[in-house]
Structure 1
Amino acid sequence: MRASSSSHTSSLPRWRVWLLGARPATLFASVTPVLVGTAVGVRQSHSLRVLPFLAALTAAVLIQIGTNYANDLFDYLKGADTPARAGPTRITARGLVTPAETRRAVIITFGLAALLGLYLIAVGGWPILLIGVLSIASGILYTAGPWPLGYIGLGDLFVFLFFGLAAVMGSAELQSGAFSWLAFWAAVPIGLLVTNILIINNVRDIPTDRAAGKRTLAVRIGDRASRWQYALFLLIAYLVPLGLWLGGAVDGWILLPWLSLPAGIWLAWHVLSGVTGPALNPLLKRTGQFVLLYGILFALGVLR
């Protein structure tokens, strides 16, 4: 069966190989924070700055793709990607590309994001410079360097910080020219839900990560606690809009994300049911889709 899979992937055209390495099913994690942050900024400024929005969206996706390529490369070099891995195909470990090719892809992708960042810095000033530099640095250091963030249990924290706080608040600042508490509170549920994508990934990989010495938070706290972490983050994501409404920060439209509650309950139920290994891959994809659904509803609630 593995040989058949290897034969199939080795025959892929080059563009499909790089698309596979970009992990398109996870890219909602970079799109959603920009959508939500832009909605907050538009609410505050009463207008949409189209070019900064498009540049921020493209740069965010490029940074995530660059991070995915870097993870693909450095997990391979550190021996974390083995034939026993239950996740989707890693293009370097499978031999579809060479480490040198993956390294070039990392440089090119982050380089394009940095070029877009020059325009965004001109629009948003030094806060955007800080966010951009730290985002690219964390994308590389997640699996590279002597103390890679993902290997010492800090992956969840940094995903929350950069896909939540930094991405949402930075996108809002590009539209309104200022940071706000609404942007901060909007960033909290988005950051937690994006972190849930990582939680599923790390729960699935606990056996192989532990064997490779990769001490993710899931490896440290264990399978069951990680699943409850996922459910807790879902719960908080629904409590934040409720708190914003009850606190008078926004009107009742902010409760629109509650329309996604059936999907959230479905996800929590299946994650807590204890499915393991490759059976978690569909839940990983559905979690990414859920992030986008929740984010669109949140953005619409903010804009109403």
Structure 2
Amino acid sequence: MEENSVKTNSFRAWLLAARPKTLTGAAVPVMIGTALTVADHGWEIAWLPCVLCFLFAFIMQIDANFVNDYFDFKRGNDDAATRLGPQRACSMGWVTEEAMRKALLVTTALGCAVGLPLVLFGGLEMILVGALCVVFCFLYTTRLSYLGLGDMLVLVFFGIVPVCLTYYLCQPEGSRTVTLTVFLASLACGFVIDTLLLINNNRDIDNDRRDGKMTLVVRVGHRGGEILYFLSGIVALLLNIVFIVEGHLWAFLLPLIVYLPLHTLAFSHLVKIDHGRELNKVLGETARNMFLFGITTSIGLLLC
């Protein structure tokens, strides 16, 4: 079915609005956090909070996609004629404004409902963590991305928070801590996921500059953005060196063998294509590479 023939507010319309390909960004940090817990404590961990962390991450990712779709449309940033990335539901008329507003309320409420039981495992402070996730989910699109803070938010909410929180909550009762290794692993996760934001912002640099969206790539320029893309993946790999010290050699070697060549290839494609809609190919490669980084790191942790 052609995207321009999508029926308004249909199942396919909502599927496109949810952007399921982005869910790997929600899965990777929880996956790594769970693998870290198993590596340190064996398979007798608390599995219910692991499941809840996965569900919360997935729902909040969809919520963030809806927020991005709706508020960028309201700002007039999703003009179908000039947009270079995948088309958005509201701007294409696949989902009506009223339906999207209701969906925002539903997904936000559902995320809170799924996350609330984590209080039983982590205490009342989990309410604060959940509230911050919801607040920054909205602030990212409406304000902070325009100030060039998107990359920092990725490090925090796609790296530090989900990895460390998953590790903390899934440990056996009475042994809940967060080690330096876990923290460094969370930074590695954040840097590798930031490559997805960087390729998006490299593609959209001209439109973002026109709209006053001062992303990090807009600030450093197109070539600087390309360098940041490459370095972000390299920093993630270098942070994984910590696993060697902890006796998890394969958690470093597998990403080195699998991720590094693919990341380097994607970078070469980025430089060659340079600009335009063709960069969506590199976006797809980056999403794949990001997921493979998560898979290989997690498998490496479980092998040792």
Instruction: Name the TM-score, length of structure 1 as normaliser.
Output: 0.92
**CA distance in structure 1 between the partners assigned to 2:3 and 2:295 by the alignment:** 37
Asked if 1 retains the 8 angstrom alpha-carbon contact of 2:164 and 2:182, the reply is yes
**Structure 1 unpaired stretches of 5+:** none
Corresponding residue number in structure 2 for 1:221: 220
Q: Which amino acid aligns with 1:110?
A: T
* Structure 1 residues 49-64: aligned runs within 5 Å: 49-64=46-61
User: In structure 1, the residue corresponding to 2:278 is in which secondary structure?
Assistant: helix
The partner residue of 2:102 within 101, 104, 114 is: 104
Corresponding residue number in structure 2 for 1:252: 249
User: In structure 2, the residue corresponding to 1:92 is in which secondary structure?
Assistant: helix
Greater Cα shift, 70-79 or 45-54: 45-54
Corresponding residue number in structure 1 for 2:170: 175
Asked if 1 retains the 8 angstrom alpha-carbon contact of 2:195 and 2:286, the reply is yes
- Kindly, what percent of the aligned residue pairs are identical? 34
Instruction: For residues 199-245 of structure 1, give each alpha carbon's deviation from its aligned partner in whole angstroms, at most 9, with x where no partner exists.
Output: 11111111222222222222222111111001001111221222441
**CA distance in structure 1 between the partners assigned to 2:124 and 2:164 by the alignment:** 14
Give the deviation of 1:36 after TM superposition: 0.1
The partner residue of 2:113 within 108, 112, 115 is: 115
Corresponding residue number in structure 2 for 1:23: 19
Corresponding residue number in structure 2 for 1:201: 200
Give the deviation of 1:48 after TM superposition: 3.2
Corresponding residue number in structure 2 for 1:69: 66
**CA distance in structure 1 between the partners assigned to 2:240 and 2:215 by the alignment:** 30
Asked if 2 retains the 8 angstrom alpha-carbon contact of 1:41 and 1:174, the reply is no
**CA distance in structure 2 between the partners assigned to 1:149 and 1:250 by the alignment:** 39
Asked if 1 retains the 8 angstrom alpha-carbon contact of 2:243 and 2:249, the reply is no
Give the deviation of 1:130 after TM superposition: 3.0
Is 1:40 equivalent to 2:36 in the alignment?
yes
**CA distance in structure 2 between the partners assigned to 1:286 and 1:26 by the alignment:** 12
Q: Which amino acid aligns with 1:64?
A: Q
Asked if 2 retains the 8 angstrom alpha-carbon contact of 1:231 and 1:268, the reply is yes
Greater Cα shift, 126-135 or 253-262: 126-135
Give the deviation of 1:8 after TM superposition: 2.6
Corresponding residue number in structure 1 for 2:272: 273
* Residues 1:48 and 1:74: Cα distance change in structure 2 (over 3 Å): same
Instruction: For residues 161-212 of structure 1, give each alpha carbon's deviation from its aligned partner in whole angstroms, at most 9, with x where no partner exists.
Output: 1000001111111112221112111111110111111111111111222222
Instruction: For residues 106-130 of structure 1, give each alpha carbon's deviation from its aligned partner in whole angstroms, at most 9, with x where no partner exists.
Output: 1111111110111112112245333
Q: Which amino acid aligns with 1:292?
A: F
Corresponding residue number in structure 2 for 1:294: 293
**CA distance in structure 2 between the partners assigned to 1:38 and 1:301 by the alignment:** 13
Greater Cα shift, 284-293 or 128-137: 128-137
Corresponding residue number in structure 1 for 2:158: 163
**CA distance in structure 2 between the partners assigned to 1:283 and 1:94 by the alignment:** 24
C-alpha RMSD of the superposition: 1.8
* Residues 1:6 and 1:274: Cα distance change in structure 2 (over 3 Å): closer
* Residues 1:7 and 1:274: Cα distance change in structure 2 (over 3 Å): closer
Q: Which amino acid aligns with 1:291?
A: M
**CA distance in structure 2 between the partners assigned to 1:162 and 1:116 by the alignment:** 17
Corresponding residue number in structure 1 for 2:190: 191
Q: Which amino acid aligns with 2:178?
A: F
* Residues 1:108 and 1:274: Cα distance change in structure 2 (over 3 Å): same
**CA distance in structure 2 between the partners assigned to 1:6 and 1:258 by the alignment:** 38
Pairs aligned (count): 295
Give the deviation of 1:5 after TM superposition: 6.5
Give the deviation of 1:249 after TM superposition: 2.3
Asked if 1 retains the 8 angstrom alpha-carbon contact of 2:8 and 2:96, the reply is no
Q: Which amino acid aligns with 1:24?
A: P
**CA distance in structure 2 between the partners assigned to 1:107 and 1:282 by the alignment:** 33
Q: Which amino acid aligns with 1:97?
A: V
